[in-house]
Structure 1
Amino acid sequence: MHLSNDDVAAIVNEVWSSMLGLPVDPLDVETPPHIEGPATSGSVGVNGATDCLICVEMGSDAARLFGATMFGLSEDEASDDDISDAIGELTNMVGGNIKSLLPEPSALSLPVVAQGTSPTLKVPSATKLLHSTYMCGDKPIVVTVWNRLP
């Protein structure tokens, strides 16, 4: 199975544009910027013909901005629940669109949102199928697709 960076970049840009009205650009550099400080990530699993985990990670400041934007709030008004709901929905949309590129049959799990220090999620005994960084203004967004071995 091969996922194209171009296909995933188009998905991420479409989701951010349609849900938040914010453009996202792929970052084509050898060493992408690291997410500094607290981070927030969403993940969804795909089970079936392919068994993988799709993770969307960003700094907590970016997550707050995206949550506030999604719900038409100021960043100060966005609650932790608003932020989790927004990141879960963005991850679900990115994951669902990536799932459509994978072999059938497949099913998408419910999204899970975690906070911590980047990388917020580690997937033991898995290999990276895709690891790409995107910029929404000055905010990096990292998308990783992990292939979970049986």
Structure 2
Amino acid sequence: MIAGLVTVSREQILAITEDVFAAMIDGGSEVLVTERHEPVPAPVEPLCAWVDMTVAELGLGVRTIVRTERPAADQLTRALLMMAASEAVGQEDLVDAFGELANVVGGNVKSLLAAPAVLSLPSVAQTAPELPENQFLQDIALDWRGHVLVVSLWSLV
């Protein structure tokens, strides 16, 4: 049943992230986030933000996870909060900004689901909660200003 609920393609995830980054992060119409075709390096300082979309009447859901490294998350936070490049990023600002990025990407994914869903508040941690491999739906690796991000979708059953 989850396959009928989620028909979000990699191209749609790319379009969502391009639009979100152009509007919220990069301040214009220039597309600075692109699909990454090289292997994703193992994270050294991982950071994940995620939101869950739940279709209560079906008992199903989808999790959108945005994963990157701490330096990229710091730069994203500075851009989103319009901070100076040299300004230190505090933990509260990091959680708010990186969580908001996952919230907006997830909200756009939610609009593509085949049934109405409720969006959770975002969560931010070094790693996202483990899910069984058979619940993996889709992912795309992205490059942004020399940083790597991965957006992935998982089923919640």
Category of TM-score, reference length = shorter chain: 0.7 to 0.9
For residue 135 of structure 2, give the secondary structure of its aligned residue in structure 1: strand
2:11 equivalent to 1:6: yes
Asked which structure has the greater CA Rg, the reply is: 2
Aligned residues of 1:35 and 1:58 also touching (Cα < 8 A): no
**Partner amino acid for 2:25?**
L
What is the match of residue 79 of structure 2? 69
- TM-score normalized by structure 1? 0.87
Cα distance change, pair 75–113 in 1 and its aligned pair in 2 (3 A): farther
Aligned residues of 2:43 and 2:68 also touching (Cα < 8 A): no
1:46-103 per-residue CA deviation (whole Å, 9 max, x = no partner) reads: 1005411110010001000100111121353221111111101100000000011111
**Partner amino acid for 1:136?**
W
Q: For residues 67-106 of structure 1, what are the structure 2 equivalents within 5 Å? A: 67-73=77-83, 74-106=85-117
Number of equivalences: 143
How far off its partner does 1:15 sit? 0.7
Greater helix share, structure number: 2
Q: For residues 1-150 of structure 1, what are the structure 2 equivalents within 5 Å? A: 1=3, 2-21=7-26, 23-29=32-38, 32-48=39-55, 49=58, 50-73=60-83, 74-115=85-126, 120-121=127-128, 122-124=130-132, 126-149=134-157
Greater strand share, structure number: 1
Q: What RMSD in Å do the two structures reach over aligned CA positions?
A: 1.7
Distance between the aligned counterparts of 1:35 and 1:55, measured in 2?
17
Cα distance change, pair 66–45 in 1 and its aligned pair in 2 (3 A): same
**Tell me, which stretches of 5 or more residues in structure 1 are unaligned?**
none
**Partner amino acid for 2:155?**
N
**Partner amino acid for 1:128?**
F
**Partner amino acid for 1:4?**
S
